[in-house]
Amino acid sequence: MTSIQAQPFPYTFDPRRTALVIIDMQRDFIEPGGFGESLGNNVALLSAIVPACRAVLDAWREVGALVVHTREAHQPDLSDCPPAKRNRGNPSLRIGDEGPMGRVLVMGEPGNQIIPELAPVAGEIVIDKPGKGAFYATPLQGFLQEREITHLVFMGVTTEVCVQTSMREANDRGYDSLLLADCTESYFPQFKASAIEMIHAQGAIVGWTADSASLLAALAAPG
């Protein structure tokens, strides 16, 4: 077992039964010229976490533990996108519309792909999710059960939406989850800060939070 310093108290896990879950590090959210920027967001906030995410991903691959990538993605006919989701807010582009990198949040489009720096490799799980949570209407739970996974380490975007939703889903399903605070971000920094407080409040009511340096040190330790 491995233990790292975390909030609100140390997080203990066995890498052989833990999956690294990377939420929605997609071109349309992260890269200049994508959907996120077209809505007026500062994507530099999100792209700033890429080096830290890559360091964790490299270390996780080195120990041979399970990696899961998610993409928020819909069928081309939008049959899995309810009107309540597509019509929310007043954006200039909606899900399925033609955006700077192809149709927004549609499977197979260029903007829907994971950024090259964090691209999946053979043997890693890729989940296309039609909702904000990684478990809703996806096979993720079955994949984790097949591999006897009990713990999850999360990173990705955005903290208060898809990351927090996925962690709450995981908590309801019995997983002990850790969020790496420097490997997640929001277009609204105050939302990230609030989400992190919510996650580890009341004795890790949703999960634990820690900086990636603690995890990297633990993974590099002998034995």
The pLDDT tens digits for 27-59 are 999 999 898 998 899 999 999 999 999 999 999
Residue linked to tokens 């420097």 = 182
Reported as a single tens digit per residue, the pLDDT across 154-203 is 999 999 999 999 999 999 999 999 999 999 999 999 999 999 999 999 99
Choose the catalytic residue: 24, 53, 81, 183: 24
The answer to whether 183 touches 53, Cβ cutoff 8 Å, is yes
Gap between the terminal Cα atoms of the chain: 10
Choose the catalytic residue: 28, 53, 128, 162: 162
Reported as a single tens digit per residue, the pLDDT across 105-127 is 999 999 999 999 999 999 999 99
Comparing CA positions, the residue from 45, 30, 39 lying closest to residue 97 is: 39
Q: Residue 171 phi/psi, 5° resolution?
A: -60, -45
Task: Judge whether 183 counts as a catalytic residue.
Answer: no
Residue linked to tokens 């033609």 = 98
Task: Judge whether 129 counts as a catalytic residue.
Answer: yes
What pLDDT score was predicted for residue 223?
A: 64
What pLDDT score was predicted for residue 178?
A: 99
The fraction of the chain above a pLDDT of 90, given in percent, is 93
Task: Judge whether 53 counts as a catalytic residue.
Answer: no
Report how far residue 34's alpha carbon sits from residue 99's, in angstroms, rounded to the nearest whole number.
7
Choose the catalytic residue: 81, 129, 132, 183: 129
The alpha carbons of the chain give a radius of gyration, in whole angstroms, of 17
